[in-house]
Amino acid sequence: MGAVVTDSARAVQQAHRALPVAAAAMGRLMAGAAFLSADFKGDEFVHLEMDGGGPLGRVIAEGYADGMLRARVDAPETALPLRPDGKLAVGQAVGAAGQLQVRRHLNNGGIYTSYVPIRSGEIGLDLAHYFTESEQVPSAVAVGVLVGREGTVIGAGGILIQTLPDTPPGLVAAVQERLMNLGSVSHVLAAGEDVQDLMRQVLPDPLEVSTPQELRFGCTCSRDELKPLLLTLPVEERREMADGGGAEAVCQYCRTAYRYGHNELGVPTDA
């Protein structure tokens, strides 16, 4: 399975005004959300959350059945020196002292949550560990985000390869070797190759390609959805807002701001 999330990762970076290492972490986790939501139907979606104790804080991504993706990070302004190999220090920024949470929201109202320890913070390795340990499916994951000279995402995506019970051991070893020799997924995508090109470089012929699904950045927020959050604030705080002419609530995912008038803040009127 492959996912190209370049446009979504760039849109998320712009929405959060994220510096490169934060943009890379969000883009990588969005690719994972795309993998996990690929077979969803209706209103189903998946929520991925990594909290590894690093300077980024929590990194969160969600993938929806219709191909919508969104993401956020606690500290988008995080800046770290490049690694000695010249790559972004995503693993250091995420940290490796916490858990990866995967929460599936299904059409029947069921919510299924799984946790695995974060192994590296590099996200791809941690996603592979999740599939192998939690879903009991041996998996290899390669995800990447390339940031250009101006600090903007120019390539993002990844591939997920999983084995079936009757997969010959020799084929598994061959695919693993090809994956290791593939190089940077993000560089390949930024160069103009599509995800099918990536898969053909890793998997043996014949390669059957299913109908692709469009992936896009979006959000489920609304004015009505955010208003109840304001109403949880202490009444005195809301009274101050009302006296100031109203309040503003900002979506944590898309950064859309919603204004609320003084009469919408639920402040009791004096008798």
What is the reported pTM?
A: 0.88
* Backbone Cα Rg of the chain: 21
* pLDDT value of position 117: 96
Strand bridging mode 59-64 / 45-51: antiparallel
* pLDDT value of position 73: 98
**Which alpha helices (H) appear in 37-181, and where do they start and end?**
90-94, 124-133, 169-180
pLDDT in tens for each of the 271 residues of the chain?
A: 888 999 999 999 999 999 999 999 999 999 999 999 998 999 999 999 999 999 999 999 999 999 999 999 999 999 999 999 889 999 999 999 999 999 999 998 899 999 999 999 999 999 989 998 888 877 888 888 999 989 999 999 988 887 777 776 666 667 767 777 776 777 777 777 777 777 777 776 666 667 778 899 999 999 999 998 888 999 999 999 988 888 899 999 999 999 998 888 888 766 4
* pLDDT value of position 175: 73
Residue 270 belongs to some domain of the structure: no
Write the DSSP assignment of 62-104 as a string of letters.
EEETTSEEEEEES-TT---PPPTTSS--HHHHH-SSSEEEEEE
- Distance CA(59)–CA(78), nearest Å, equals 12
Q: Which amino acid is at 162?
A: Q
Q: What is the chain's percent helix, strand, coil content, to nearest 5?
A: 35, 25, 40
Same domain, 57 and 187: yes
Same domain, 244 and 177: no
Write the pLDDT tens digit of every residue in 223-260.
999 998 888 999 999 999 988 888 899 999 999 999 99
Boundary-marking domain end, from 181, 202, 217: 217
* pLDDT value of position 172: 65
Same domain, 39 and 23: yes
Residue 120 belongs to some domain of the structure: yes
Same domain, 172 and 140: yes
Same domain, 77 and 198: yes
* pLDDT value of position 188: 73
* Domain encompassing residue 100: 2-217
Same domain, 110 and 228: no
Write the pLDDT tens digit of every residue in 38-69.
989 999 999 999 999 999 999 999 999 999 99
Same domain, 205 and 171: yes
Contact assessment for residue 182 and residue 188, using Cβ atoms and an 8 Å cutoff: yes
Strand runs labelled E in the chain: 2-4, 45-51, 59-64, 68-73, 99-105, 111-117, 139-147, 153-162, 216-217, 246-250, 257-261
